[in-house]
Structure 1
Amino acid sequence: TVAMDTTRRRQILGEARFLRGLNYFNLVRAYGGLQA
């Protein structure tokens, strides 16, 4: 594990979640939603 302060850890997690959401949004725009 890497030692870092809570603020930096939360910033990294927030950025990662944003990028995951953005990529999912672009996939849905390109290929449509999932069929249930």
Structure 2
Amino acid sequence: RKISTEFGAPDLVFTGKQTIDGDTAQVGPGIAK
């Protein structure tokens, strides 16, 4: 959020393919609008 206040909202956000804590794949959908 600090980045968006300084530079504006990002057009594209890259997330990782896998996590190390369970492979739940919830980060992408969790930050999507």
When Rg is computed on C-alpha atoms for both structures, the one with the higher figure is 1
Higher helix proportion (structure 1 or 2): 1
* TM, length-normalised to structure 1: 0.24
Looking at both structures, which has the greater relative contact order when contacts are Cα pairs under 8 Å and sequence separation is at least 6? 2
* TM, length-normalised to structure 2: 0.25
